[in-house]
A and B are shown apart, each in its own frame.
Chain A
């Protein structure tokens, strides 16, 4: 049963992505993306990662996609532009295709069939997923975590500077 549900979510994610890519109206594309993010959140639940799944919905579906919608509204794009440099660029197609293939190859070669190290399924079920993530982020990866914070701070400062200049 659980495999059937998992198969449904994986197949429908592929279908939804195709729909999102082929829509003419950008708002419709964003709505398909919203559906895709909700499906991704459910796939995280299959991994016992309830915190990650909720963070996926709050951050991606709740904040980032709303920003996408805002951008589309402010640009006022009813239909995507059909200029030649956007739709007929064979170098771009080739590059993106190669990059995607490389990413797929790297991802497939790193597949693990069992859990190794400290964070096994029984460990996570004992301590709780949220607790395990917090423990790992703030102890093992604290430097990387703070660096991400600083990197995210820089665009905020930049936006402030630009807004001040315009005024």
Chain B
């Protein structure tokens, strides 16, 4: 019983911290993009606009929830819940530090890939059930995008699994720490780049945010959604961004550990807690997500699919071959 209560408390801690991070990521995004475009970003609510996320939340929570009359009502209402659930459930298998993990399962990476592929249903169903052309096209685009980039994401992670010899995220970090580089991003630089680009496409972020391209599709699958259900989609997108950042930090940058050659050069870094190392790496990824959004224009849809099938998948296969050779002969 005590164990069960402890589990609930741990889960609540993780969810609260991640959701607070999500709220302030929206603030950071607006600030960083503002600075990138020589503006100030939000400044009115609180000092330097620090209370802006809370104001936004209150506003969106009290708006009217509109369901279009021709929509498929039940599926329309459940689609944002599907996508949020299958995104947020990934937090259970992420090891935040050496001994803080909610569920230490043997197939952690596969679990994340599985729920990523299931969350695509939320988007497809949202597009279909809205009964609107824009939403439908957005949903179809998103489905083909997620299906194509899942393959390259899987290939880059397969190389990591091959190198570490385990599907457990904790074992992957430990195996990484025992190599001479200390992180897989250095020997598997091709795989790391493939992973990064696929992560942008999997989370439907700019420059691959075609499912919600304003210039062509109004807001894609989000067109008919309003108020709280719109907020759920928004939340799911940012949690998915964090999941990809966690995955990148764990599989390629050594998670909560620092490489051996760094701690030998600067011994005082040994005393840094693992959770802070991990958080720094994740913040780096999140900053990259925002920075890319501020910098790159959107791709065209055929360009997107060409990048996925003609460049990323062959590059992922080559990376897998190289890693297999390294594993066998070095």
- Shortest distance from the beta carbon of B1 to any chain A beta carbon, whole Å: 15
- Shortest distance from the beta carbon of A30 to any chain B beta carbon, whole Å: 10
Contact B113 A50 (CB under 8 A): no
Chain B interface size range: 20 to 34
Q: What separation, in Å, do the CA atoms of A63 and B120 have in the docked complex?
A: 10
Contact B124 A63 (CB under 8 A): no
Contact B114 A54 (CB under 8 A): yes
For B167, what are the chain A residues with a Cβ–Cβ distance below 8 Å? 51, 130
For B114, what are the chain A residues with a Cβ–Cβ distance below 8 Å? 54, 57-58, 61-62
Chain A interface, number of residues (Cβ within 8 angstroms):
19
Q: C-beta contact mask, A53-91 vs B, less than 8 Å → 1, else 0?
A: 011011001110010011001000000000000000000
- Shortest distance from the beta carbon of A138 to any chain B beta carbon, whole Å: 13
For B147, what are the chain A residues with a Cβ–Cβ distance below 8 Å? 63, 66
Contact B120 A62 (CB under 8 A): yes
The majority secondary structure among interface residues of chain B is: helix
**Residues of chain B in range 85-139 having any CB-CB distance to chain A below 8 Å:** 105-107, 110-111, 113-114, 117-118, 120-121, 124-125, 128, 136
B143 on interface, CB distance cutoff 8 Å = yes
B275 on interface, CB distance cutoff 8 Å = no
B202 on interface, CB distance cutoff 8 Å = no
Q: Which residue of A has the minimal Cβ distance to B136?
A: A73
B150 on interface, CB distance cutoff 8 Å = yes
- Complex partner residue of A63 from B72, B105, B106, B117, CB under 8 angstroms: B117
Q: Which residue of B has the minimal Cβ distance to A62?
A: B117
Q: What separation, in Å, do the CA atoms of A130 and B75 have in the docked complex?
A: 36
- Shortest distance from the beta carbon of B180 to any chain A beta carbon, whole Å: 26
Given contacts A62-B120, A69-B124, A73-B140, 5 further A-B contacts (CB under 8 A): A51-B107, A57-B118, A62-B117, A62-B118, A70-B143
Interface residues of A (CB under 8 A from B): 27, 31, 34, 50-51, 54-55, 57-58, 61-63, 66, 69-70, 73, 128-130
